[in-house]
Structure 1
Amino acid sequence: MAPLVFDIRHIQLLRKWGICGVLSGTLPTAAQQNVFLSVPLRLMLEDVLWLHHNNLADVKIIRQGGDKIMTGITRERGAKLSKLVEDRLNKSFEYQRKFKKDEHIEKLKKIGKINDETTAEELEQLNKSNNNDHLIESSLFIDIADTSMILEDINIESDGLSYDYIRDLLFKQYRQAGKMQTYFLYKALRDQGYVLSPGGRFGGKFIAYPGDPLRFHSHLTIQDAIDYHNEPIDLISMISGARLGTTVKKLWVIGGVEEQTNETHFFSVEWAGFG
């Protein structure tokens, strides 16, 4: 289950709340090149749980598979959707043609080919001689919508689902039971003003930025929560993590949650002896 956001306005709003996600459109296997990607925005499960916990977003669960959704569309509804898409595409083409023609006219005025006294017939003749209409048609692009008209027709469950139910559903993909402690680490860092992103590139669960990732480099590489009172810490992982963190100028951080008090504790490790 991957939480996805398709609406650009929602993505802008999420960024104001410190949730940046990873753009995954067209190149999902090269998510590190997110400057070149588009919607949908893929969120971490912790992002969704934090939003739900703070009443900032509704969690909508789509239980139907894509094949069932498509087969459930009636012929009449399919024809209506097709007409809507065609009308929207034609309006987009009309806007593009007008914009490009106006832009071309301004360029012709700047180079002195035409002026305010040029007639429509003279301008049309000039366009034909330059094959301008053909060039405009070949440059038109199809504007892909970032919202779905199909999802409006299906029954999406959202209301009446308890926080515990949503939590269990979101985290059922975790390999071990009791992984809510990792969310508490996430929440504690968010409460301190950090912006978190997936940390797989740097050998961690999260990487933490002191602000918007467009303005700051990440400072921390956070691991999954552990029971540091009883669970042993693998020294090889600690050494390799600390050395990697020093190389990429990040602190290697482990943490855990006290079961009785729910207090969160963090420990940072650096590799000494370099530089």
Structure 2
Amino acid sequence: MILISLLEGKALVWNAEDVKEIREKHGLVGNLVGALVRKPRQNLRLGLPLELLPEETRLLVEIGAATLVRNCSSQKANSKEDDLSVDKISSLSSVEDEDNVQSEVDAYKQYLQDSYTEQRSLALQEKRRILESLSDRIVEGRTKRKRKNDNEEETPMESSPQGPIKELQDLAETFNFPQEAMMVHLPTARTSVGKVQEVDLHQASVDWPYAGQAEHELRYKVFKDLWERGYFLTSGNKFGGDFLVYPGDPMRFHAHFIIICYPYNKDIPMTDIITAGRLGTNVKKTVLLCSPNEGTVNYTSLQWSGIQ
């Protein structure tokens, strides 16, 4: 079961395997919003978590593929257990959260230190193995340089008890392995979610304010109908629409349609129709005006042909 975490109306997926299943099995895209650890100061390539559209979130829950949850700590400020005031509850919650965060930070620092110690030991063993395998060639090269510089006959170098070359002496103390060179494990899931509470999809709340909203119901009916037809959909904000529709995975195809949702039998200003038609023509996409009507969705395509 895919776990979708809610935070003030945003639906986030933290597990990489869940993200893969959402895209490959269910044909939903979402939007990666997390910074990459190695390149945090750029926005061309992002990582976990995956933020889902409200329509994508609702669809996954309704088909039984996902569960909506929220962190219980975010609800403590609104509870009134033991007749405590909201301010006192918030204060206690903040202290508890800070203690939990600090303990996780300390545990992570200890994990990094243990990992560094282990990796330094392995790197030291590899360094010693390489030096031992090349010791004869190193001795030969140094002997030739010494003979060339001093004009003396070649003499073999003395071997120390620790090894044939001086680099092997006290290698454990002189070996330099900076912490910046160590490999760091990148988690593919949120390491600690704490206590969570399941959220009712049909009950409006701070974390899920879409229940009962007419605009959300309108968009969801259109979204679901196009998804059932096999299309991939993403947000259409950058093109002035509700959704962008792709014939396949957006990694392989350009969007073919710009979706604009309108209630059935609602008057549409002519200026909006002209604007939408010209926009679609300029970006080489077809604009679809979509209106749910008695279990079906009516689609009207617009094409700007200019003045005839």
What is the TM-score when the length of structure 2 is the normalising length? 0.66
Q: Which runs of 5+ in 1 are unaligned?
A: 28-32
Q: Does 2:216 match 1:200?
A: no
Q: Deviations over 1:142-190 (max 9, x none)?
A: 55545445522x3x2217x3x533799735389x635302100000010
Q: Is the 8 A contact 2:218 2:263 kept in 1?
A: no
Once the 2 structures are TM-superposed, how far is the Cα of residue 191 of structure 1 from its aligned partner?
A: 0.3
SS of 2:221's partner is: helix
Aligned match for 1:172, one of 201, 206, 210:
210
SS of 1:138's partner is: helix
- What does 1:50-129 align with in structure 2 at a 5 Å threshold? 50-62=59-71, 64-65=73-74, 70-73=94-97, 75=99, 80-93=103-116, 97=120, 114=134, 125=167
Structure 2 CA distance for aligned equivalents of residues 46 and 215 of structure 1: 23
Structure 2 CA distance for aligned equivalents of residues 140 and 262 of structure 1: 58
Structure 2 CA distance for aligned equivalents of residues 53 and 3 of structure 1: 15
Would the alpha carbon gap of residues 169 and 79 (structure 1) be closer, same or farther in structure 2, given more than 3 Å must change? Answer: closer
Structure 2 CA distance for aligned equivalents of residues 146 and 187 of structure 1: 29
Alignment-derived partner of residue 219 in structure 2: 182
- What does 1:261-272 align with in structure 2 at a 5 Å threshold? 261-272=294-305
What is the TM-score when the length of structure 1 is the normalising length? 0.73
Match for 1:165: what amino acid? Q
Structure 1 CA distance for aligned equivalents of residues 286 and 74 of structure 2: 42
SS of 1:55's partner is: coil
Match for 1:237: what amino acid? D
Aligned match for 1:23, one of 21, 32, 38:
32
Alignment-derived partner of residue 226 in structure 1: 262
Would the alpha carbon gap of residues 79 and 184 (structure 1) be closer, same or farther in structure 2, given more than 3 Å must change? Answer: closer
Q: Is the 8 A contact 2:243 2:258 kept in 1?
A: yes
- The count of residues paired between Structure 1 and Structure 2 equals 253
Q: Is the 8 A contact 2:32 2:50 kept in 1?
A: yes
Q: Is the 8 A contact 2:210 2:216 kept in 1?
A: no
Structure 2 CA distance for aligned equivalents of residues 123 and 183 of structure 1: 73
Q: Deviations over 1:174-225 (max 9, x none)?
A: 9x635302100000010011111111111111111111111111111111x3
Once the 2 structures are TM-superposed, how far is the Cα of residue 271 of structure 1 from its aligned partner?
A: 1.3
Structure 2 CA distance for aligned equivalents of residues 114 and 89 of structure 1: 33
Once the 2 structures are TM-superposed, how far is the Cα of residue 226 of structure 1 from its aligned partner?
A: 1.6
Structure 2 CA distance for aligned equivalents of residues 157 and 42 of structure 1: 19
Answer with 43-52 or 86-95: which moved more.
Answer: 86-95
Match for 2:241: what amino acid? G
Alignment-derived partner of residue 138 in structure 1: 180
Q: Which runs of 5+ in 2 are unaligned?
A: 1-8, 37-41, 78-89, 139-161
Match for 1:6: what amino acid? W
